[in-house]
Amino acid sequence: MKERSVIFFDIDGTLLNHDKKLPASTKEAIFKLKELGHEVAIATGRAPFMFEDLRKELGINTYISYNGQFVVLNGDVIYTNPLNIAAIEKLTDVALANDHPVVLMDHEDMKMNVPDHPYITESIQSLKIDHFPTHDPDYYKERDLYQTLLFCAEGEEKQYEQNFQEFDFIRWHPVSVDILPKGGSKAMGIEKIVERLGFPKERQYAFGDGLNDIEMLSTVFNSVAMGNAEETVKSAAKYVTKSVEEDGILHGLEMVGLL
């Protein structure tokens, strides 16, 4: 038997295609990896409650959510990195004055600080999940938040980047930006899992396609960018596979010798 490896998969545009469907070839490949004894994990910007069904379908209990801020190993939380709440409160006040709503997120739920907004509807609906935020502007109080979504047009996040050094801002949708703790990333979450599992760097793999995958792809020894990724993402990876629509996961796993 080949030596065991650990493989981290992004979700949107990697495991799931642009219709948010799991290709049959991808599902079969994941189960084959597990049959071979490999450790399979998810590394996503999504909240845990946004991909529970996918975890159950694939039988995956190890995952990095919120771009590295909430990490679970075999069903147990092993690392959390919450946002600076005082800074979030200040940012929310500025955003409201600019008509830029926010969605506040912990490991169980998400709440918006306005009753409704077309940007929130457009971007959250693009994820094709059953969960939609309800209105609770005080959701940041007395709880740990791991990510906040800022809703603004492209380029409008620059003022927040300049004024809130406590955070990193990563665009995931034309009208929405992830707000993360400064320096928080999927790469950091992977480090926490690998520390526990003990896989050497040569047996660590990661697949991704988005801007929030760049640090992961540039850090993990065997990194694979999807064919549908932007060029900046591809340039961060060691390998480039086919697009998610062209059985990219199966092709990539075969390309690196895992299948």
Catalytic residues: 10
| Segment (H or E) for 53 | helix 52-58
Length of the chain: 259
SS3 (DSSP) at 186: helix
8 Å CB contact between 258 and 250 = no
Rounded Cα distance, 150 and 83, in Å:
14
SS3 (DSSP) at 169: strand
Rounded Cα distance, 144 and 140, in Å:
7
| Segment (H or E) for 34 | helix 24-35
Neighbour-count burial of 210, counting CB atoms closer than 10 A to its CB (0-12 exposed, 13-18 middle, 19+ buried) = buried
